[in-house]
Structures are given as structure tokens and as C-alpha cells.
Chains A and B, each alone.
Chain A
Amino acid sequence: MAELNRTGLYDLHVELGAKMVPFAGYDMPVQYPLGVMKEHLHCRAAAGLFDVSHMGQVILRPKSSDLADAALALETLVPVSVLGLKEGRQRYAFFTNDEGGILDDLMVANRGEHLFLVVNAACKAADIAHLKKHLSDTCDITEITDRALLALQGPQAEAVLADLAPGVAEMRFMDVAVLSSDFGDLWVSRSGYTGEDGFEISVANANAERFARALLVHDAVEPIGLGARDSLRLEAGLCLYGNDIDTATSPVEAALTWGIQKVRRTGGERAGGFPGAERILDELDNGTRRLRVGLRPEGRAPMRAGTQLFASEDAAQAIGEVTSGAFGPSIEGPMSMGYVTSEHAATGTTIYGEVRGKRLPATIAALPFRPSTYKR
């Protein structure tokens, strides 16, 4: 097996007693001594600190010095309005392929002179190659490797971070800013992947551990591992790339149509012009055979990824499959996400998941399972 990469916070994780596991080529903390359940609940009650330095940070700089050129170039790879993204703002996007599948999901921020992208760890090499292959004529594409990325999430996140960088208090959900601090310039976005208000902070590797310690000094802050990160994002109804979305799922099937602005749809000023546009625009107008939905199993047994879904207790043919499933500590019950044929996708529909040979009832539920608390 190839040697695992380490983030700049590896030694700190070990010192904090983390259990380390391989994840996307990195040796990452899956949980700390608090344990997955308490870490999850702590993040929702106070604040949780996550090391997400394994994710890719990429700068897209227009060769013309006109940011619109970079925005329009990126629009050839994503069905998202990048040109419409104002300076100091961030939005969710996804790279599509020619078949209309999803290559990766990402965040795009307009930082005035350039675009700043955050992509998934497992996809970052392919994403950067993809950007370089298609956008090199118009943009300089630089992977940022000398900065760590931390997420501070939860109701106390603002109060804690404001101690170190007061400017964060003025930011709204999906704002981005560069704030100076005792830890050098912090590239801050008011966002995250837990459904909580919170921040993602890019900090120079040289200052990352000192910065993390300064946050952990607060009683409100506990370090949170990948285990709780997964149950937090699932309660928030957010997709995990590789599980809930991949090259075989289109953004319309994945119920990510909210991420495709009107201007890129049929009849819009910049309609189409991204890979797989034919399929995706057709699906936006005419629907899809299957859809991503939330599922609340009855009882306490979780329906995990791979669970086959059926319309009735005795139907022979499956109508879909679970792609993520776990116990939701905050909703105090099992929750799943998966794909079902569109005629069974209406909220409130009862379907059945086959768990250990038994068909157990579950109800199609609206996502998120727990209302998000973003500061809009």
C-alpha cells in the first residue's frame, strides 16, 4: 500500500488521542476519545473543530486579469453561474462529464482577482488535471499546498473565532474574506458541511497547529473526527462524493437542481455550454427515472449503504438502493439517503429496505433531516 499522506495537524491529532484511519490517501482522525456520538452532539451544542486539510485548495487566476474570463472559463466545466457570483461570495458547484454524471462537487469563491476552489481529497488530482486540460489557455491553475484547511462548526463557532479574527462576526452564510490575525492571513468562508453555522479557514501550514490549539483552548471547542463529520453531513442532507453522487449520477437525479442557476438552464442567457448539457437540460425539463431522497427507517435499525429498496414487502424488483445510512444522534433515530424510481420519491411514501433478509418499512423524508442553522 502506498505511503499515506499526513496533514500539518497529524501530530496534534495523535496527541489528542485520535484513532487514525486511511481516508482518500491521508492518515486522518476518525474519532477522538469523546467518541462519534458525543462529538456529533457537541458540534451541534457548542463548536467542533475539523481538520479538512486533505481537501484540495486551488486558485484559478485569469491570464487577462479580468475575472470574468476565469468565471466564463470555469462555466464550461460546471452547470453553475460563476459569472453571477459576486466578489466576496462563495457557491456550491459540481464538475460534470460528457454523460452528465458528476466528476466531483466543490465550492467556488470569488476573491476579486481570482477564483478560489475547494475540492474533495479523493478527486483533487483528477480535478486539477481536468482544470489544466481545459482551462490552461485562459487561466493559471495553482494548487495551494502550503496551507491547511480547518472547519469550525456549531453555534459557538462565531464567538470563538471572533476572539482571534473579529471580522468574522460581520460575515453571512457563504461570504468569504481574508482576515489578518496572529496566525497570518486567514482565508475564511462562512460555510461548512454539517448544517451548522460555522466557518472554513485556510491558514498557512506553518501556523496551523498554533491556530488549532488557540481554538481548542476554548471550552466550547472539541476536535471532531471523520465519523461524526459523516453523521453531521447526513443529518444536514448533504451528499458525500463517491457515495451519494458520482459519475453515474446526474445533478438532476441527485436533486441538486438548486445548484443550477436559471441563467445556465434552457432559455437562460448562458444556457448549456457545460459537459453533459444535453442530458442535464433535458432532465431539468422532463424529469428523471430516479431521484435522490431522504429515508427515515421505522424502528432503530439503520439502513446502511447498499441496502436494496422495494415498493412493497413482497415485490421482486428493487426500486432503488441506499447510498448513505447511519444513526442520527441529533434526530435520535436512523436515517438514510438513496435513490428510488421517481414514482416512489414523494415525501411520505412508505417503502421497504431489505436488512439482513427482512423487509423493514421506511418513509421517504424531506431533506435535511434536521433544519440547518446557517446565518443568512
Chain B
Amino acid sequence: MKFTEEHEWLRVEDDVVVVGISEHAAEQLGDVVFVELPEEGTEVTKDEEVVVIESVKAASDILAPVDGEIVEVNEALVNNPALVNEDAQGDAWFFKMKVADMADLDEFMDEAAYKDFIA
């Protein structure tokens, strides 16, 4: 699992990348009450806003970590946004994307580096 400085995690699954937010980010957000997901098939570019998250505190968003195409979204989060707080790095993935260039992932941190980053 890789981590971005925007507190997203990325997990490579065959030829797609699964994206979620870190447990640390979920904790900082507080109780999540609303999630708006992109449409499957959307072409996105790095740093484009793709997901809106509203917690009891405020609205925030998830940016596309790399260029690519959204191929699947986790509809379970729409009906149960609290899943983000319960299992941020597991069941609460947000979307899967087909990445234009897998080498783009090399720049991201591994778990140890991310732990140092948030320490």
C-alpha cells in the first residue's frame, strides 16, 4: 500500500489502483456524514477533485492521485458514510482507477514513510 501527502492510500489490484483515505485522515475528519462519488468512466487528471466528503465538522475532497480513468466506485459509502470512520484502509475504498502510467505511483510513500510523515 502506498500513501500520498494528501493522506490517500493506493493499492494496486491487477491492472487497477484502489484509492481510499488513511485512518489518520479519517480520524482528523471526524464522523463522515456524506460522500459524493464520481461517475464510472470519468477521465481524471492528477490533483482534480473527484470525491466530496462531508464530516460533522466540514467539507473536504479527495484529489485524483494520478492521471487515469475511474472504473469503479464504492456505492456502499453513499448509503453508509460512517464506514469511512470504521474501516478507512479496508472496506471504505472510494474508487478504482485505471492508471495511465503505473510508474507515476513510484513517487508515493510506503507505510513506514507515511507514518513518519504524519508523526
Contacts and interface: CB of A to CB of B under 8 A. Distances in A.
A and B from one complex: yes
Interface of A: 31, 35-38, 227, 231, 300-302, 304, 326-327, 329, 334, 356
Interface string B30-61: 11011010000000000000001010110100
Closest 7 CB pairs of A and B: A327-B33, A37-B31, A36-B56, A300-B34, A301-B34, A302-B54, A35-B31
Nearest to B58: A304
A231 B34 CA distance: 16
Contacts, number: 40
A227 B34 contact: no
Contacts of B59: 302, 304
Interface residues of B, number: 13
Contacts of B82: 37
Given A300-B81, A301-B36, A304-B59, A327 B30 contact: no
B119 to A, nearest CB: 18
Which among A31, A327, A334, A356 has the greatest number of chain B C-beta atoms within 10 A?
A327
B34 A37 contact: no
Contacts of A37: 30-31, 33, 56, 82
A334 B57 contact: no
Contacts of B57: 36, 227
23 contacts: A31-B30, A35-B56, A36-B30, A36-B56, A36-B57, A37-B30, A37-B33, A37-B56, A37-B82, A227-B30, A227-B56, A227-B57, A231-B56, A300-B78, A300-B81, A301-B36, A301-B54, A302-B34, A302-B59, A327-B34, A327-B54, A329-B56, A334-B33
Nearest to A300: B34
Contacts of A35: 30-31, 56
A187 B1 CA distance: 57
Nearest to A227: B56
A329 B32 CA distance: 11
A240 to B, nearest CB: 16
Nearest to B27: A35
A369 B43 CA distance: 41
B117 to A, nearest CB: 21
Nearest to A328: B33
B79 to A, nearest CB: 9
Contact of A334 (B30, B31, B34, B78): B34
Nearest to A38: B31
Contacts of B81: 300
A35 B29 CA distance: 11
B36 to A, nearest CB: 7
Interface string B64-90: 000000000000001001100000000
Contacts of B36: 301
B51 to A, nearest CB: 12
Given A36-B30, A304-B59, 6 more contacts: A31-B30, A35-B31, A227-B56, A300-B78, A301-B54, A356-B52
A184 to B, nearest CB: 37
